[in-house]
Amino acid sequence: MSKFKSITQSTSEEAVLYKSNNPPYSIPGVDLPRIEVYDDVLDKETHQRVWEYLLAQVWHHEWTFPTKPELQIYRPAEWDDSWINSLTLRQCLSMPRTLFASDETSLQKKHPIIWELWNSINARLNNRYEITGNPEGAKWRDYPCPEPADPNLSKGWRVYANASVHMGMNGNGYVHRDTSNLSDETSVTIIWMASPVWYPSWGGELMFYPEDPDGLTGDHQQFNIPGAQQRNFQIGWLDGGRTVSLKPNRLVVYDGRTLQSTPATNHQYNTELHRRIVFRARLKV
């Protein structure tokens, strides 16, 4: 059984309000955030095997300052991370990513190790989920997303990994929802924290915000980058939400509609990036 409380389907009137971008900007009658946290998901040997595989993949991010935008493609296992301290030269605007699959079929075919990870994770969650959730909007030229095996499933990346770099370089961290359809009650985001070493002083905790349907805070997400996630979400104060530390081998599951952010880390003089594998999944019907 899901630990998520049952919620009432949004009415057609509420859907119209959302689409027309008029108040309310939150989900009436829904208590968010709803988060599940599990620790020690994999044994040490399996964790290390997945970690080494992750570092051997091709990653990409985009440099932006002071040069023109420049896509950089690299394998972390072959890369000297000393570039992370070169603050006087550049800043990294985009979150580092590597992209895996659009669904379970392509994941099993292309990345069997990550497929095994998914099965271990789903078993820990009582096999409640399937990889059919709302996809991530990441794009990477010359690296097309595979077509889902199910013709009724939209094309998009549902399995991928990302990384957070320190606050001097990262342009991410804005509050957003992974699922913008406020009536979608079954889509979830599942994050497995892959980094085998992480210390509390390095920060970067996941931050989950409560709903603010009455707009009491006055925060309609006005601070976003133009054109990115500008949905006028009404955001409640964080002390009514929750923070989750980046503990190694930790699993986090949350409703995709939850307001959340992934701030940069604060370990400026350490070359470690925090890496995690993400599954955009859905509760089985």
Please, are residues 267 and 165 in contact by the beta-carbon 8 Å criterion? no
Query: pLDDT tens digits for 219-228?
Result: 887 766 555 5
Please, are residues 101 and 110 in contact by the beta-carbon 8 Å criterion? yes
Domain boundaries, the chain: 27-283
pLDDT at 98 over 70: yes
The CATH architecture that domain 27-283 belongs to is: Sandwich (2.60)
Confidence (pLDDT) at 168: 63
pLDDT at 16 over 50: no
Residue given tokens 């957070």 in the structure block: 164
Instruction: For CA atoms 116, 94, 253, 192, give the dihedral sign.
Output: positive
Confidence (pLDDT) at 176: 87
pTM, entire model: 0.87
pLDDT at 3 over 60: no
Strands (E), the chain: 35-38, 59-65, 70-74, 91-92, 97-101, 129-130, 159-164, 187-193, 206-209, 242-244, 251-255, 259-261, 274-283
pLDDT at 13 over 50: no
Average pLDDT, the chain: 83
Confidence (pLDDT) at 241: 94
Query: pLDDT tens digits for 70-94?
Result: 788 889 998 766 655 554 445 555 7
Query: pLDDT tens digits for 116-153?
Result: 999 999 999 999 999 999 999 887 777 889 999 999 99
Confidence (pLDDT) at 11: 38
As a whole number, mean pLDDT of residues 196-211 equals 93
Confidence (pLDDT) at 85: 54
**CA distances (Å), origin 88, targets 24, 37, 81, 85, 171:** 43, 38, 16, 8, 16
Please, are residues 72 and 169 in contact by the beta-carbon 8 Å criterion? no
Least confident of 15-19, 185-189, 218-222, 281-285: 15-19
Confidence (pLDDT) at 164: 85
Confidence (pLDDT) at 227: 55
Confidence (pLDDT) at 19: 41
